[in-house]
Amino acid sequence: MISNKKMRNIFADKATLVLRKMLCCSAKKWVTRDFIGSDGVSIGMAQGVLEAMAISGYIEWSKRGPASYALLINREKLISDWLTAYKFELNEVDTYYSPDKNILSKLKNYLKDKQYALTLHSGANLITSFVITDHIYLYFKSQNRNKDILDLRQKLDLKELVRGGNIHIIRPYYEDSVFFNRQTIKGYKVVSNLQLYLDLYNFQPRGQEQAEQLKTILEEKEKNFYGS
């Protein structure tokens, strides 16, 4: 067992891939190899994250040699602590302005072959229609970000104002994990419901209200809210 001083930060970017996978199937008995591979983490990181989760009481780790497994036993505490550790403001945001009432649809068409995902009210409203806003927030990842954003601005005539704007293009703090379980809703790419909840919960205005509304609607539909 590792000491508290050496506990891995399980809410760091790649480490959260372990959390996200476990939350997808909280009743599953997980083994370390479930978290490794091209879309996962190294075996050392997986072991470190599981050790830290056991110390924090999120999982029960049954060590039985080759038959060892980890079981998520305190999902709500894990989410609560994650909400304390993470704030949307950790992301970097570039803000622009467009008066075009159809700009969201145009953004979707332009970005259809690129790595993007809506978040905050932009994503949640596709499910809830709960908060009226003309602000659009989207994660965008590119190997040549500056060039691609310049092209996007020129094609869609996005203006850079001295202050304010309604189009917010986000460089993700969770660079490796923010697109995990990305979903398509009404033709738009949207982050997972878990990531929506994390982004919204401490966000102003009305983020926590939207987060709880989203959770309620999806649970009423008997969906695995945290795992989607």
Confidence of residue 19 (pLDDT cuts 50, 70, 90): very high
* Type of residue at 191: V
Q: What percent of the chain has pLDDT over 90?
A: 86
Segment 154-163 mean pLDDT: 95
Mean pLDDT of the chain: 93
Tokens coding 98? 């467009």
- Is the pLDDT at 225 greater than 80? The verdict is no
Q: How buried is residue 191: exposed, middle or buried, by Cβ count under 10 Å (0-12/13-18/19+)?
A: buried
| Per-residue pLDDT at 7 | 59
| Per-residue pLDDT at 6 | 54
| Per-residue pLDDT at 177 | 97
- Is the pLDDT at 5 greater than 90? The verdict is no
* Type of residue at 116: Y
The 10s digit of each residue's pLDDT in 72-128 is 999 999 999 999 999 999 999 999 999 999 999 999 999 999 999 999 999 999 999
Task: Report CA torsion sign: 37, 42, 46, 47.
Answer: positive
| Per-residue pLDDT at 65 | 75
Domains of the chain, earliest start first:
4-85 (1.10.10.10), 88-220 (3.30.460.40)
Task: Please report which residue ranges of 2-118 form alpha helices under DSSP H.
Answer: 16-24, 43-56, 75-85, 103-111
- Is the pLDDT at 1 greater than 50? The verdict is no
DSSP 108: H
